[in-house]
Amino acid sequence: MRKLNNKAPYNAKSGFHYICYNMINVFLLLGSNLGNRELFLQQAIELISAEVAVPVTVSSVYETQSWGKTDEPDYLNQVLMLQTTLTAQQVLKKVLAIELKMGRRREVKWGARTIDIDILFYGDKVIHESNLVVPHPELYKRSFTLIPLAEIAPQLVHPVFGKNILELKAQLKDNLIVKKYTFE
């Protein structure tokens, strides 16, 4: 941490303002296609704020046809950008716990779910571990991921492909209908 001006976070104990330079930008994709989808997205954001970090930027909510298993109900999707000092494994552990707390059951691949939370990016890191692959291996193929991501981070560069999100979006072959969701 480094001392900064009065717009930086304040440490009451020391009386100084600090900013933390070891924060990592993490992008998460939220999805829900069961029950009260709007409420589940809202609850997920509240739990992520409490357990991981308060989102710095949040995309609009998008309604999307189901991907993978097309006979499922439509999804609501949203992308969040957080800044955290947690490791990628710590973020994964926390989002999996949030999914479980919110009733997520992993019974059918691409099956309907109350909430799905995917780690899209963890800074510019490329991670290949048995339980975590970052950047998300399918994100460049999915309009329901790239459209909200392009809304909040159009110039973010994919560390594997070396292209920004707008460039990846322009190359999409995915023809799913993705539209901004209107809350009633």
Out of 116, 124, 142, 174, pick the active-site residue.
116
What pairs with residue 129 in β-bridges? 132
Catalytic residue among 74, 113, 124, 142: 113
105 is catalytic: no
Whole-angstrom CA distances from 180 to 1, 38, 52, 141 are 39, 13, 26, 19
Choosing from 2, 37, 118, 142, the catalytic residue is 118
- Per-residue tokens: 145: 């991921």
- Please pick, among 2, 37, 71, 104, the residue that the annotation labels catalytic: 104
Would you give the distance in Å from CA 95 to the centre of its chain?
10
**What are the DSSP E strand ranges found in 53-166?**
57-58, 62-64, 75-84, 116-122, 127-129, 132-134
- Reply yes or no on whether 2 is catalytic: no
Q: Is 174 part of the annotated catalytic residue set?
A: no
Active-site amino acid positions: 104, 113, 116, 118
